[in-house]
Amino acid sequence: MEIVFNFYQWAYQYKYFSCLALVGAIAVLKLLQIIGYFIYTLVRPGKNLLARYGNGYAVVTGASDGIGKVYAQHFADMGFNLVLISRSIEKLQLVKNEILAKHSDLDICIISFDFSKGTAADYKPLQNQLDCLDVCILVNNVGIIKFHKFHEISDFEIENMVKVNEYSCIYMSKMVIPNMLKRNKRSGIYIMSSGLRTSISAYVSLYAITTTAVSSLAKSLWLEYSGKIDICCFEIGPVSSSTNKDKSIRHITAEQCVSSCLNKVGFDSISFGHWKHRILRTLTQYLTRKARIKRGERVYNLRKNE
């Protein structure tokens, strides 16, 4: 206490006190602004996407399960027609039936496509199908997460992950943008990335590369197209899904994930989606090297055989 008092005395004496008080006041105001904005985002209602984009088709990749399936359900509830893409036509048919039971008036196209095999030429038939539709939303959701020791990753896994996580996002976005630019209304491209991109832990090297790539893509697309297209990148944290059965206080449900991401559309171009993941990101950036290794090891041991 005495040290602080002496410091202030010294600062006052040298007329630095008012400067320090000003800096302190700015810091407090900044903190209040951050907390205020955080609270505001929790209570702020989302945009009406049907009014924003008009009636059209919402395309969701990786729509047969997990977060993608919940996106499809939300868009159907809003009144959008759907194009659902993933490998398994049987799983897609089940999702389609489930949605049609609630919204029989919607047009739902299901397309089987394996993004791990997708070369530029393979995307052509997909493009022909989408070109016939008024696509107003694309959710680049498909993605695979694998935990590896870097030297153990096989060439097959590298290619697989890059193609599914990165190529899909690049080619799908490139495919829909020309027609989106011709629409009278705005459109939306949403990119599912991961908070692991920034709060790196051990054993996620390749996944972190792919999520960094799609986040960079989103930033660039935002600069180029945000006048006409909502480019939103969601760097989400852990979500319990069919592939991620790990459950902890950090996990949210796919339902929570999608509703919080959709609430950000039209406001934030890059966000963490759910408030829990915003806080998680703030805390994890201060993790030590040791803690990051331990964190990675825990998940690696849990999920290495998936």
Ligand X SMILES: NC(=O)c1ccc[n+]([C@@H]2O[C@H](COP(=O)([O-])OP(=O)(O)OC[C@H]3O[C@@H](n4cnc5c(N)ncnc54)[C@H](OP(=O)(O)O)[C@@H]3O)[C@@H](O)[C@H]2O)c1
Q: Taking CB under 6 A as the rule, does residue 278 contact ligand X?
A: no
Give yes or no: 57 in active site. no
Query: What is the Cα–Cα distance from 192 to 67, expressed in whole angstroms?
Result: 10
Return the residue of 87, 281, 292, 303 that touches ligand X, per CB under 6 A.
Answer: 87
Residue 183 C-beta: closest distance to ligand X, Å: 26
Of 42, 45, 50, 23, nearest to 185 (Cα)? 50
Return the residue of 66, 188, 273, 296 that touches ligand X, per CB under 6 A.
Answer: 66
Query: What is the Cα–Cα distance from 176 to 49, expressed in whole angstroms?
Result: 18
Task: State which amino acid sits at residue 54.
Answer: G
Q: Taking CB under 6 A as the rule, does residue 62 contact ligand X?
A: yes
Q: Taking CB under 6 A as the rule, does residue 114 contact ligand X?
A: yes
Q: Taking CB under 6 A as the rule, does residue 170 contact ligand X?
A: no
Residues 228-257 binding ligand X (CB under 6 A) are 236, 238-239, 241-244
Q: Taking CB under 6 A as the rule, does residue 91 contact ligand X?
A: yes
Contact 240, 246 (CB under 8 A): yes
Residue 171: Cβ-neighbour burial (10 angstroms; 0-12, 13-18, 19+): buried
Of 74, 86, 66, nearest to 245 (Cα)? 66
Cβ partners under 8 Å of residue 247, min gap 6: 240
Q: Taking CB under 6 A as the rule, does residue 75 contact ligand X?
A: no
Residue 97 C-beta: closest distance to ligand X, Å: 15
Stretch of residues binding ligand X (CB under 6 A), selected from 39-47, 66-74, 124-132, 280-288: 66-74
Binding region for ligand X (CB under 6 A): 62-68, 86-88, 91, 113-116, 141-145, 164, 192, 194, 236, 238-239, 241-244
What is the set of active-site residues?
A: 207
